[in-house]
Amino acid sequence: MRSLTAGFVLGAAGPVLGLSPLDTFYPPTLNQTSYISNSSIGTYGGIYKAPTNGPTGGDPYGTYDYCSMPHPRSQEYKSPGPIANGSVKGELVYLEYLQRHQRRSPYNILPGGENQAYECDNVRPYLYAGGNSDSGIQPMPMYAQTYQDPTNPFTPGVNGTCQYPQITIGGVQDGYQHGKDLWNVYGKKLGLIPKKPNDRVWFRSSESALTQGSAGAVLRGVWPDYDGALPLHQMVSSVDTVNEGYSCSAISSTLSELESTTEWKEHLSVTSELRSKLGSMLGATSSSWQSTFDHFSDNFQARLCNGYELPCSISNSSACVTMEMAEEVFRAGDWEWNYYWRTNPYVTKYIQVVEGLFIGEIVARLQAVLDGKSSLDYSHIFVHDGDIGPILGALGINALRWPAMASNVAFEVWKTNGKGSAGYYARVLYSGQPVQTIHGTLDWIHLSDLIAILSVYVPEDIESLCG
């Protein structure tokens, strides 16, 4: 059993509502299963609701918001301490920005059926191909329009016009605002992002339509008037270093090991009543629904974050998921993410096999900046919770709640000048604030120290590690 930090008693200074926005990111008892079972914790100040339309952002700014995580904004942005107080002179020379896609419809449809329709007619997910030059074929801008044909005998288990998952209108609107805010900080204020895309900016996404859809919305916010097309780099999906692209049997074997520990079993035992209630209400009794909180969380979050209600049973419309049940699901989900990427006994290896190659790519770009050889000023990569989680784990974040919609990590590199103090410093913002880690708050550290922190997770030989 893990013990409380000496002297810390959750809520001792008053109700959970007294938390500051930043506190909501760092529940000190997240590594205990009592965090899951103690219903008075509620959402630990987190927000899990948003209307269909955006843009939305947690209120007050900086609060953990599952539907739309905070991101750097010029209204609140502060330079790193020593730059802000003038003790050091320097400028931002590089930004490595990673983000999860914006809010969306769910991956996981309730096995018993969904009692509400999902509508996505208000979004146009574009997909079209053309020649690679302006003189080549210019395609018709086509978008996907989901429909159901009455002659198709198969029913999808959910009514409406969405694909699962797909970006929703609120996600598109949030993304556009996200990009506008990034421009205001890193373009207008700090002069790093150029007025229009040039060869020192670089974009990448996973193979998923979700991350591509987010990129289009966010980058339109960054450059509202640019009328060309931009490359969004992607690896071949069978070897992709994000979103668990390449195959590696050590990923699933390490996962089974960490899901065999006493702590893991304890988190299932404290939630057995909840799981069995939800299972019978929603037809979700299979192990894929019962062995982790991934599917319930995903299903409920997608409803609440897009203007819908929590689900009810199809066979009994008065048997519904309550907010209290959903909150316990969310606390259990947060506990699991902290366990996967921070506290399980195999965590170093788990991060290495899942995310080590991608972390190595980030380290290589940071090293190029340190060596004065970077060919880029701004890299922006659109990925998934399963990528943001291990990166925050590698940084040693003090507590890791589920990296929510549009959660983001900004690696800033500052170059200082002046006699004797020339050098490269880094800071790392998680969803707009310097991240709090076992190495301290990463507001101003030597770039070489940040590289050293991350390098532990870069495998020397991934093929042998994968087995």
Binding mask 83-122 for ligand NAG (x = CB under 6 A): --x-x-------------------------x-x-------
Which of 151, 238, 318, 375 is in the footprint of ligand NAG by CB under 6 A?
318
Least distance in angstroms from the C-beta of 80 to ligand NAG: 8
Q: Is 5 in the site for ligand NAG (CB under 6 A)?
A: yes
Q: What is the largest CA-CA distance in the chain?
A: 77
Residue 466 binding ligand NAG, by CB under 6 A: no
Among positions 38, 416, 437, 448, the unique one binding ligand NAG when judged by CB under 6 A = 38
Provide the minimum distance between the beta carbon of 313 and ligand NAG in the complex, in angstroms, as a whole number: 7
Classify residue 322 by burial, with Cβ atoms within 10 Å: 0-12, 13-18, 19+.
Answer: exposed
Is residue 105 within 8 A of residue 118, CB to CB? The reply is: yes
Return the number of the residue (83 or 357) whose C-beta is nearest ligand NAG: 83
Q: Is 265 helix (H, G, I), strand (E, B) or coil?
A: helix
Q: Per CB under 6 A, which of residues 39..68 are in contact with ligand NAG?
A: 40-41
Task: Report the interhelical angle of 347-370 vs 249-258 (nearest 10°).
Answer: 130
User: Taking contact as CB under 6 A, which single stretch among the options 132-140, 314-322, 385-393, 445-453 is the one that binds ligand NAG?
Assistant: 314-322
Nearer to ligand NAG, 303 or 384 (CB): 303
Q: Do 400 and 389 form a contact (C-beta atoms < 8 A)?
A: yes
Closest CA to 31 of 293, 267, 335: 335
Q: Write the interaction track for ligand NAG spanning residues 237-256; mark x where CB under 6 A is met and - where it is not.
A: --------------------
**Quick check: helix, strand or coil at residue 419?**
coil
**Interface with ligand NAG by CB under 6 A: which range of 33-41, 294-302, 422-430, 454-462?**
33-41
β-strands 201-205, 89-100: how paired?
Answer: unpaired
When binding is defined by CB under 6 A, the residue of 33, 68, 343, 433 that contacts ligand NAG is 343
As a whole number of Å, the CA-based R_g of the chain is 22
| Encoded tokens for 277 | 């209630």
What's the rounded Cα separation, in Å, for the pair 315 and 297?
A: 22
Closest to ligand NAG by CB, 7 or 228: 7
Of 38-46, 62-70, 177-185, 234-242, the window that binds ligand NAG (rule: CB under 6 A) is 38-46
- Tell me how far, at minimum, the Cβ of 122 lies from ligand NAG, in Å: 19
Binding residue (CB under 6 A) for ligand NAG from 22, 81, 279, 285: 81
The Cα–Cα gap between 431 and 225 comes to: 26
In terms of CB distance, is 348 or 374 closer to ligand NAG? 348
348 lines the binding site for ligand NAG (CB under 6 A):
no
- Tell which one of 52, 74, 146, 159 touches ligand NAG (CB under 6 A): 159
- The distance of closest approach from Cβ of residue 43 to ligand NAG in the complex, given in angstroms and rounded to an integer, is 11
Q: Which residue is it, tokens 């590594």? A: 31
Exposed, middle or buried by CB within 10 Å (0-12, 13-18, 19+), for 381?
Answer: buried
For residue 114, the minimal CB distance to ligand NAG (Å) is 6
Q: Are 27 and 401 in contact (CB under 8 A)?
A: yes
Cis peptide before 60 (omega within 30 of 0): yes
Task: Tell me the closest approach of the beta carbon of residue 343 to ligand NAG, in angstroms.
Answer: 5
Q: What residues numbered 397-426 form the site for ligand NAG, per CB under 6 A?
A: 398-399
CA–CA separation, 401 vs 27, rounded Å?
A: 8
- Give the nearest distance from C-beta 306 to ligand NAG in angstroms: 17
Q: How many CA atoms within 13 Å lie on the side-chain side of 212?
A: 16
Task: Name every residue whose Cβ is closer than 8 Å to that of residue 176 and which is 6 or more positions away in sequence.
Answer: 55, 217, 218, 220, 221
**In the complex with ligand NAG, which residue's Cβ is closer, 31 or 166?**
31
Of residues 141 and 449, the one with the C-beta less far from ligand NAG: 449
Q: How far apart are the first and last CA of the chain?
A: 32
Question: To the nearest whole angstrom, how small is the minimum distance from the Cβ of residue 280 to ligand NAG?
Answer: 10
Question: Is residue 28 part of the contact set for ligand NAG (CB under 6 A)?
Answer: yes
Give the one residue of 22, 93, 268, 319 binding ligand NAG; rule: CB under 6 A: 319
The whole-angstrom separation of Cα 276 and Cα 108 is 18
Question: Rounded to the nearest whole angstrom, what is the least distance from the CB of residue 157 to ligand NAG in the complex?
Answer: 7
Q: What's the CA gap between 367 and 40, in Å, rounded? A: 46
Q: Where are the alpha helices (DSSP H) in 204-243?
A: 209-222
Those residues whose C-beta lies under 8 Å from the C-beta of residue 75, and which sit 6 or more positions away, are 61
Amino acid at 196: K
Q: Which of 2, 78, 196, 446 binds ligand NAG (CB under 6 A)?
A: 2
Residue nearest to ligand NAG (CB): 81
Would you tell me which residues interact with ligand NAG (CB under 6 A)?
A: 2, 5, 10-11, 16, 28, 31, 34, 38, 40-41, 81-82, 85, 87, 113, 115, 159, 316, 318-319, 343, 398-399
